[in-house]
Amino acid sequence: VFPFELGLLDFNGTVQDDLEITLQSVREIFMKLTGSCPVLTENSFREEITLHYADFFEKYGIHKNRKAEGDAIRKKYFRKHANGDLLFTGVKEAVSELFQHMDLGIVSGDVQGFVSERLEHLGILQFFDTVHDGVSEKMDIFKKILHAYELAPYTVFYVDDGPEGIEAANALGIFSIAFVHNKSYCHEKRILAAKPKIVIRSFLELIPALKNLTPH
Q: What is the 3-state secondary structure (H, E, C) of 130-189?
A: EEECCCCCHHHHHHHHHHHHCCCHHHEEEEECCHHHHHHHHHHCCEEEEECCCCCCCCHH
* Confidence tier at 44 by pLDDT (50, 70, 90): confident
Residue 216's pLDDT is: 59
For 188-201, what is the HEC assignment? HHHHHHCCCCEEEC
Q: Give the pLDDT mean for 138-156.
A: 98
Is residue 52 predicted with pLDDT exceeding 70?
no
Residue 195's pLDDT is: 98
What b/e string do you get for 2-39 counting C-beta neighbours within 10 Å, with b at 16 or more?
A: bebbbbbbbbbbbbbbbbebbbbbbbbbbebbeeeeee
Q: Give the pLDDT mean for 126-142.
A: 96
Measured distance CA(3)–CA(115) in Å, rounded:
27
> What is the biggest distance separating any 2 CA atoms in the chain, rounded to whole angstroms?
55
Residue 50's pLDDT is: 58
Listed residue (139, 143, 145, 157) closest to 200, CA to CA: 157
With beta carbons less than 8 A apart as the criterion, state whether 32 and 66 touch.
no
Is residue 69 predicted with pLDDT exceeding 80?
yes
Residue 54's pLDDT is: 72
Residue 49's pLDDT is: 77
Residue predicted with more confidence, 13 or 54: 13
Residue 215's pLDDT is: 66
Q: Write down the mean pLDDT value for the chain.
A: 94
Any idea which of 43-47, 94-98, 179-183, 196-200 has the lowest mean pLDDT?
A: 43-47
Measured distance CA(1)–CA(191) in Å, rounded:
28
Residue 136's pLDDT is: 86
Is residue 208 predicted with pLDDT exceeding 90?
yes
What burial class does residue 132 get, using C-beta atoms within 10 Å of its C-beta: 0-12 exposed, 13-18 middle, 19+ buried?
buried
Residue 47's pLDDT is: 81
For helices 19-34 and 67-81, give the axis angle rounded to 10 degrees. 130
pTM: 0.94
